[in-house]
Amino acid sequence: MRDFIGELKGITREYQLLNESSAILAWDQETYIPPAALPERGEQLALLQSLAHKKLTSPRVGELLAACGCSDDAPWGSAGADTRDGAYLRELYRAYTRQIRIPSALVEAIARATSAGQAAWAEARRKNDFAFFKPYLEKVLSLVVEKAQAVGYQDHLYDALLDEYEPWMTTSEISRVFSGLESSLKGLASRISERPQVDDAFLYQSFSLEKQRDFARQIVKELGFDFSGGRIDETAHPFTTTLGARDVRITGRFREEYFGTGLFGLIHETGHALYEQGFDEEITGNILATGTSLGIHESQSRAWENVVGRSRAFWEHYLPLAREYFPSQFNDVGLDTFYRGINRVSPTHIRIDADEVTYGLHIILRFRLELALVTGDLKVDDLTGAWREASRELLGIEPETSAEGELQDIHWSMGAIGYFPTYALGNLYGAQFWAAFENTVHNTDTLIRKGDFSILRNWLRDSIHRHGASKTAGELCREVSGEALKPDFLQDYLESKYRGIYGF
């Protein structure tokens, strides 16, 4: 069997290289591509993604998986469920059985439609013109639904899409978790709204973009991002992408009139990047060298951004440096005022600017709408009105423009329907992992206050990062925290933090 696995690893290495080549083109499209090159970029991506699909679904892969004893009942084959080779076979068998059901022509069509859709979304967002984007979204949606039908599902069409980003999670389970989460978040937001509001006016001033970039870059480096194997660029919608085993790219977006967007966005993306830079050498270059699920991936970015980056201890260390970069803006702002201000709870239209309490409500909004779009209960023509109605219900505010509403996120233009729930799952996983870390290391605030992130980073690397996709999200959660995923940890964290900030 060792020879069979060796041959499979050779095939999937080529599959990985094709995917990384596609990622380079996609990164370039979101950063530096000249507008006239966009139509051909769609053709380039379609070709590469078609080649990757054919490589993964070749008859030889099926023969080798069968020779290794892989089946629906035992996807790890004869290698054993608790071995690295078993994990490799499990992940490959899962990817193979999904992809073999999707026709090559559909893979190419999706690549073309999403390349065009992302370019159209960027233009529509700039112009605040949903009508311009609508036909592109309708095309992408129809192809994504076709893909879900091809992949197949047991209970709900959306399951086939959700499973791409959060393996083995179901629509019914997400709905159950989100029902309880909505109630607790609304209740906490309501209690906060009854308290005197904290001041965050100092964050809304004129901040040099160049100084923001330099300040954020210094923090990102000190958090542990390896610039010898990565870089930072700017784009309309921040993201992190892996272009190779030693090439992890972060992108961000800065606003001159608001301090928070650029810095906290880059801390968020650094959490993703540290995960991607932390895989064991043993799995580097094969299909295990990826996050086990996007929910786990988001647990890293959300924890670094909020639990660490918005902590009082973090700013005890970094506020003096912020004053050096921005003396006229921050010299008269005390630590307590700064800490409370960056944690202000107030509904906002823009998801990536949302506070920790209302952020989950943004995700529930998107989950409901894309679920209705997939089933056909909501037409793209009616999306603007549905978004505004859901925003009123969940956040108590209504966007005045499409750029503040249905055009604010890139995900639907890139066909990533089923992705949004992973953001909220990331908050849940992140809080549970943080509780486990604090039970292991009892002086976390002292370390952060000194700017020492090495112990946290090494704990995350040893407990989570190094495994890549060797362990499932459920296995990892139980192994790290001792329990299955529970919302209690996030609820306790939010209650404790915001009780202190708002004094209720």
Active site (catalytic) residues: 269
Query: For the chain, what is the radius of gyration of the CA atoms?
Result: 22
The three-point CA angle 177-265-487 to 5° equals 15
Q: Which residues contact 226 (CB under 8 A, 6 or more apart)?
A: 248, 277
CA distances to 210, 305, 363, 398, 487 from 182, in Å: 39, 22, 10, 18, 11
Amino acid identity at 249: R
Amino acid identity at 150: A
Amino acid identity at 47: L
Q: What are phi and psi of 230, to 5 degrees?
A: 180, 175
Kindly report the number of other CB atoms within 10 A of residue 152's CB atom. Answer: 12
Amino acid identity at 252: G
Pairing between β-strand 240-244 and β-strand 247-252 as defined by DSSP bridges: antiparallel
In angstroms, rounded to a whole number, what is the distance separating the alpha carbons of residues 440 and 212?
A: 35
Under DSSP, the state recorded for 304 is I
CA dihedral 68, 69, 73, 79 (to 10 degrees): -50
CA distances to 239, 342, 348, 398, 407 from 411, in Å: 11, 26, 19, 21, 10
Q: Which residues contact 107 (CB under 8 A, 6 or more apart)?
A: 46, 49, 50, 53
Q: Is there a contact between 207 and 1 (Cβ–Cβ < 8 Å)? A: no
Q: Is there a contact between 143 and 106 (Cβ–Cβ < 8 Å)? A: yes
CA distances to 188, 198, 350, 364, 499 from 195, in Å: 11, 9, 23, 25, 10
Burial-class residue 348 by CB neighbours within 10 Å (0-12, 13-18, 19+).
Answer: middle
Q: Which residues contact 33 (CB under 8 A, 6 or more apart)?
A: 41
In angstroms, rounded to a whole number, what is the distance separating the alpha carbons of residues 220 and 238?
A: 15
